[in-house]
A = this chain, B = another copy of it.
Amino acid sequence: MRNIRLLIEYEGTQYAGWQWQKNQKTIQETLSKAVERVVQEPVKMYGSSRTDSGVHALGQVANFKTTSAIPPEQLIRAINFYLPHDITVKDAADVMESFHARYDAQSKIYRYTLLNDWIRTSLNRNFCHVCGLLLNTDKMLDAAQYLIGTHDFTSFTTRALQERNRIRTIKRLEIAKEGKYILFTVEADGFLYNMVRTMVGTLIEVGRGKIMTENVRDILAARNRNLAGPTAPAKGLCLIEVKY
């Protein structure tokens, strides 16, 4: 039995997220069906991250087992032939039988794109959140320092009860200005449901002066979602890379 690792790019706009759901179009189902048409047998597709509805990916990783003998490059071409154009397999490779896209992930990198302008964008409209308020990025950067490291992120998830272990380690949280864009890059060993979007929503509140920089430490310590800022919209979020 071969174990194939896929690297996948997708625009999440038209999908109800990665994970299979009844009566909803998802990335996992669409990808699995395309793969099954190619390998001519049922497959179980394991994804590294269950991206939410509307969230994009440049570097989602998934794996599946198959008895098919089709070489990797041909697999890429054939799967892409059956996939709609908003999903693309960028790479395929044979990996050890033990490899699991989700359990073996060491860290994941997400990017959140914020357009800080009072006028929207047409060309980039599905890939950024537009915020017209005056934002102080220095304050946002100061506040972000409290989130880096190993913490209980209960205050930054909307489904705390579903996760027994709410402790995660943020290795990197960068905030960069590029013209009118503010780019948040976050690397962690894992993320709770809506965690990046709640962190970004909270940092926006810091940037506009609604939440004081030091309060972010207290919000984290309180383990109470009601204290953090709103969940920033899905369309600004993109899974950039999964490290193994």
**A positions within 8 Å CB-CB of B:** 9-11, 56, 58, 76, 80, 85-90, 119-123, 125, 127, 238
Contact = CB atoms under 8 A, between A and B. Distances in A.
Contact of A86 (B58, B80, B122): B122
Given A9-B123, A80-B119, A85-B125, 11 more contacts: A10-B122, A11-B123, A11-B125, A56-B123, A87-B122, A88-B119, A88-B121, A88-B122, A89-B119, A123-B127, A123-B238
15 contacts: A9-B121, A9-B122, A9-B123, A10-B122, A11-B122, A56-B123, A76-B119, A80-B120, A85-B120, A85-B122, A85-B125, A88-B119, A88-B120, A88-B121, A123-B238
A87 B123 CA distance: 9
A51 B87 CA distance: 29
A122 B87 CA distance: 6
A86 B89 CA distance: 27
A123 to B, nearest CB: 6
A88 B119 CA distance: 8
Contacts of A80: 119-120
Given A76-B119, A119-B76, A120-B80, A125 B90 contact: no
A125 B127 CA distance: 13
A56 B124 CA distance: 12
A90 B119 contact: yes
A11 B122 CA distance: 6
Contacts of A10: 122-123
Interface centre among A89, A119, A122, by most chain B C-beta atoms within 10 angstroms, is A122
Contact of A58 (B56, B88, B123): B123
Interface centre among A56, A120, A127, by most chain B C-beta atoms within 10 angstroms, is A120
Nearest to A8: B122
A93 to B, nearest CB: 14
A48 B121 CA distance: 20
